[in-house]
Structure 1
Amino acid sequence: MTKLLYVCGLLMLAFCASCGRTKTDLSDDKTRSETIDTVSSYGPKTMVRNVKKGRNGSVLIAASFAGVFRYDGKIFTNLTSKLGSRRFWDVLEDRAGNLWVATTDSGVYYYPKQAKSFQHFTTRQGLASNSVLRIFEDKAGIIWFGTGGGISRYDPQRAVSGRSDGQFFQNFTTKDRLPNNGINTIIEDRSGKLWIGTRGEACFYDGKTFTILRNKDGKAFNNVWGITEDKMGNIWFGAAIIEDKKGDTLVVTAGLWCYDGSGFTKINQRGNSAIIADRKGNLWTTGAVNPNGVGAWKLFRYDQQALSSKMPVATEIMSTEKMLCGILEADDGSIWFGSMNGVYQFDGKTVTDFRNKEDQK
């Protein structure tokens, strides 16, 4: 097996940590000015970290320092114009129609469906950290935040003792046996377990215990940025296995892995960042061909029929010298994905770059 030198700082940020479980007061920190949305025929031209589904078939785009945009099929609307320049990383429109915006420099902004201003949640209100990389809503309507200081849980239905707004944060950190406080991603499988990728070991959470994932040799999966569940219930993720340590340098092997409920199978040795399974059962990944992140980044599709093979062959959709990020299957079946310089759409035949023609040069 080829061994690669892995630089610990790759794809990592400096994160502030805050531990413990905290009841919160969310009423006194709001962006009180009304939001004035701006619209454009073109998409953002800065890094797009994540792309998510919005209401009525729209697409939500989190673009670092540019804002969070809604695309309705014709125009891009900047929903965060009044928030100024922030390092926007993720976005969620929950089942009630409320908008959540994650940043890695100033916590979370919350826009209730019936409101006219954002509320601002930080460590002051109980978040585990002001650096937030992931927002996820589970089947029960609980909102989970993956932060640089652990996991924060928000239950919109649970009333805090002595309060009438029903808002509540609960934090999980290494003190609660979370393997690492730096959280990259969170998903929920069909059984209700949460699968969590961290900048240390990956794990799953059954509501009581965090269990670290290990291969047949007992080695943990590290630095997981993308996890998904396919139509058969298999869990797919990209990860690094630490084979050795030489001074400050880690010797690792990286690749795409599949868990079928009984064991882990390594599919390839490419770097894999974001991963989704579409409605047809196809698997989509973005990642660097060279697992150390140097060189070309590619968008691949693994057809559903090929996934039953021990070594499924991938179809290359796009290659670029710049980083590719989060992936989304939109309601119309098209695939959206972020990059260092904007957002792209693949309709099954053509990749569309939504920047203006001058920026595309």
Structure 2
Amino acid sequence: MIKIKFFTVVVLSLILNSCSGQKSKNEIKESISSEKKLEESKPDTPNTENFLFYSDINNQISQVVRTIFQDSKGIFWFGTQNGAFKFDGNSLIHIDSIKNESGKGVTIKDIAEDKDGKIWFGHEGGISSIDKKVVTNYYESDGLISNDVWCITTDRSNQVWIGTIEGVCKFDGKNFTSFELPEGLKDTKVGISSTKMIHNIMEDSGGRIWFSTNGGIYIKDRTSLTNLSEKDGLHTPFVNEVIETHKGDFLISTSQGLYKYQKGIITEVTGNLFEETKGTGSIIEDSNGNIWFNCSRSIYSLKNTDLTEYRISEGNYGPLTFQIYEDQQKRLWFVGYGGAFRLEKGKFINITKDRPW
């Protein structure tokens, strides 16, 4: 049985109604002194056909926040359809020097930090890094396998792994190297897909690299590449994300729901929890060991076998979420269509440009 919790809204949520070693000529380095404070930037233009409005619509960080990341210094970074923003504890700042090869702004899809404290961004126009106050943009002309980047991560060797619509490559700070994976299937049920698409890359506690693809999961260790797919118990080849729990098990988010990979065996997690098959998106384990995930507009927590659905009010689901995230203060964030939200003391709080941080 699913328990449903209703929450008081602090600000009405905005919900979508529908479910090489040398520096190249394209490598742009600019001081972040060119950043624009948000009060100087233009407000987002809302799509009146797709969104439910509330009073603070023009004060959102962005109408679509794709990802959130808190770095080792405690600084928050937001990846949005309007580029990258950072909150340094005092001001929310737009990083306007992250651009595509034509010099235009980009949608940030993923953010990571390397061992040197450099922040990396994967976006629809390539990848970018911020090293202190220097922004560097990298493109296909620099050796990147594709400018259409969907995920980015760094490993313990300080290699940058980049997942794109055309497969995987890694960057050692000087050169890009392709990493070949078998092709999967094109997902005809979504708007953008390919046989080589990489949805997520994760390094586990043992140093293995996990790739979430349209051909199942690929796990790279020092000497081999292992595939987990339908032959192993998944009911779909379309894997969105894999996380490692504090117990050392792995949870797999797919177009057909959640699965657990434990001691070499894959078992269904959500198959018996819902009356019909539901695909899952973002997934995390919080500091209390609870699992959080979303199914389109629904947000769920799973404690042992106790499943709870979170809604803002009766008939009104939570934010249409791209990512669920727990920060260093153990606060839960939900970012997606409508902006950024936190769940605090029974309330979905909308985090706007100036409050409440």
Normalising TM by the smaller chain, what interval? 0.7 to 0.9
* In the alignment, structure 1 residue 264 sits paired with structure 2 residue 266: yes
Alpha-carbon shift at residue 199 of structure 1 (Å): 2.9
Aligned position for 1:347? 344
Count how many residue pairs are aligned between Structure 1 and Structure 2: 292
Equivalent runs, 1:74-85 vs 2, <5 Å: 74-80=90-96, 83=99, 84-85=104-105
Aligned position for 1:171? 178
1:199-255 CA distance string (max 9 Å, x none)? 332221223433221356666642222221111111111224xxxxxxxxxxxxx11
Q: Percent identity?
A: 22
Aligned position for 2:85? 69
What secondary structure is seen at the aligned counterpart in 2 of 1:124? helix
CA distance in 1, matches of 2:301, 2:349: 17
Q: Decide which of 338, 351, 354 is 2:335's aligned counterpart.
A: 338
What secondary structure is seen at the aligned counterpart in 2 of 1:314? strand
Letter of the structure 1 residue corresponding to residue 163 of structure 2? G
1:262-292 CA distance string (max 9 Å, x none)? 211111133210111223322111222xxxx
Alpha-carbon shift at residue 315 of structure 1 (Å): 2.1
Contact 1:202 1:220 in 2 (8 A): no
Normalising by structure 2, we get a TM-score of 0.73
Structure 1 unaligned blocks of 5 or more: 1-10, 12-22, 157-166, 241-253, 289-296, 307-311
Contact 2:79 2:107 in 1 (8 A): no
Alpha-carbon shift at residue 74 of structure 1 (Å): 4.8
* In the alignment, structure 1 residue 91 sits paired with structure 2 residue 91: no
What secondary structure is seen at the aligned counterpart in 1 of 2:73? helix
What secondary structure is seen at the aligned counterpart in 1 of 2:216? coil
**Larger deviation, residues 78-87 vs 123-132:** 78-87
CA distance in 2, matches of 1:208, 1:103: 31
Question: In structure 2, do the counterparts of structure 1 residues 26 and 225 end up closer, same or farther at CA, with 3 Å as the change threshold?
Answer: farther
Q: Greater relative contact order: 1 or 2 (C-alpha under 8 angstroms, separation 6 or more)?
A: 2
Equivalent runs, 1:1-361 vs 2, <5 Å: 23=20, 25-35=22-32, 36-40=34-38, 42-64=59-81, 66-80=82-96, 83=99, 84-104=104-124, 106-113=125-132, 115-116=133-134, 118-156=135-173, 167-174=174-181, 177=182, 179=184, 180-215=195-230, 221-240=236-255, 254-268=256-270, 269-288=277-296, 297-303=297-303, 306=304, 312-318=305-311, 320=317, 323-355=320-352
Question: In structure 2, do the counterparts of structure 1 residues 97 and 187 end up closer, same or farther at CA, with 3 Å as the change threshold?
Answer: same
Superposition RMSD in Å:
2.7
CA distance in 1, matches of 2:233, 2:62: 43
Normalising by structure 1, we get a TM-score of 0.73
Contact 1:134 1:184 in 2 (8 A): yes
Alpha-carbon shift at residue 43 of structure 1 (Å): 4.2
Contact 1:334 1:348 in 2 (8 A): no
Contact 2:253 2:280 in 1 (8 A): yes
CA distance in 2, matches of 1:331, 1:220: 35
CA distance in 1, matches of 2:235, 2:207: 22
CA distance in 2, matches of 1:33, 1:73: 23
Letter of the structure 2 residue corresponding to residue 193 of structure 1? R
Question: In structure 2, do the counterparts of structure 1 residues 356 and 92 end up closer, same or farther at CA, with 3 Å as the change threshold?
Answer: closer
What secondary structure is seen at the aligned counterpart in 2 of 1:324? strand
Contact 1:24 1:126 in 2 (8 A): no
CA distance in 1, matches of 2:29, 2:211: 34
What secondary structure is seen at the aligned counterpart in 2 of 1:202? strand
CA distance in 2, matches of 1:29, 1:274: 33
CA distance in 2, matches of 1:321, 1:278: 18
